[in-house]
């Protein structure tokens, strides 16, 4: 694949080394792709720098509250266009119920790692108070038996 073969056409900015396009399937309003014209580490680094600078500028100007920058590398990571490109995804208060975990949400059940920590804290509190429910005692017993056998 060559730069000329990429599917994105909605150009936002075109420079000597990279072009920024509107994402065809935006996660949020303003989702951009920074695409190097030549597959080199130098040009890809320039895409990351541009995405970071744009995101920072957007936050300073109030366009968004925060932003994610990322890249999918390989089919198993979700890459569908096999040309390097960097995503800039503006984030706004309320665009997600609990954004903790950020990019960890690429695997939904791993996104909010705090849920497991919060559950452990709750169980520790119950242990201290001796206030387990019957279901929790049965679940813990089954878990122990499954580990041993």
Q: Which residue has the higher pLDDT, 47 or 95?
A: 47
Tokens 């500028």, located at residue = 57
How many CA atoms lie less than 13 Å away from 108 in the CB half-sphere? 1
Which of helix, strand or coil describes residue 19?
Answer: strand
Q: Are residues 47 and 86 in the same domain?
A: yes
Q: Are 35 and 94 members of one domain?
A: yes
11, pLDDT greater than 80: yes
Proportion of the chain above pLDDT 70, given as a percent: 81
Greater model confidence, 109 or 20: 20
Looking at the fold, whether 65 and 47 belong to one and the same domain comes out as yes
Q: Within this chain, do residues 102 and 135 fall inside the same structural domain, yes or no?
A: no
In this structure, the answer to whether residues 43 and 102 fall within a common structural domain is yes
Confidence of residue 14 (pLDDT cuts 50, 70, 90): very high
**The total number of structural domains that make up the chain:** 2
The C-alpha atoms of residue 64 and residue 55 are separated, in whole angstroms, by 8
Same domain, 100 and 120: no
Residues 46 and 8 grouped into a single domain: yes
Segment 58-73 mean pLDDT: 96
pLDDT recorded at residue 136: 74
Residues 119 and 61 in one domain: no
For range 105-123, the mean pLDDT: 63
- pLDDT at 143 exceeding the cut of 80: no
Please indicate, yes or no, whether residues 103 and 58 belong to a single structural domain of this protein. yes
Task: Residue 45: give its domain's CATH number.
Answer: 3.30.428.10
Domain that includes residue 128, residue range: 114-148
pTM higher than the cut 0.95: no
* Whether residues 70 and 50 fall in one domain: yes
- Measured from the Cβ of residue 72, the count of other Cβ atoms closer than 10 Å reads 16
Same domain for 120 and 86: no
Q: Sorting pLDDT into bands at 50, 70 and 90, what band is 90? A: very high
Work out the average pLDDT over 11-33: 96
| pLDDT value at 130 more than 60 | yes
Q: What is the DSSP letter of 62?
A: T
In terms of domains, do 93 and 38 share one?
Answer: yes
pLDDT category at 91 given cuts 50, 70, 90 is very high
d(CA 23, CA 131) in angstroms, rounded, equals: 51
């Amino acid at each position: 694949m060559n730069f000329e073969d990429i599917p994105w056409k909605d150009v936002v900015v075109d420079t000597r080394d990279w072009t920024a396009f509107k994402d065809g399937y935006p996660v949020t309003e303003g989702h951009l792709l920074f695409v190097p014209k030549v597959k080199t580490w130098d040009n890809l680094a320039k895409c990351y720098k541009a995405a970071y600078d744009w995101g920072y500028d957007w936050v300073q100007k109030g366009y968004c509250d925060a932003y994610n920058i990322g890249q999918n590398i390989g089919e198993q990571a979700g890459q569908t266009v096999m040309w390097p490109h960097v995503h800039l995804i503006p984030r706004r208060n309320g665009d997600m119920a609990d954004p903790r975990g950020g990019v960890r949400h690429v695997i939904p059940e791993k996104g909010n790692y705090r849920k497991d920590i919060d559950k452990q804290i709750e169980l520790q509190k119950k242990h201290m108070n001796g206030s387990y429910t019957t279901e929790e005692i049965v679940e813990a017993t089954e878990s122990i038996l499954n580990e041993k056998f």
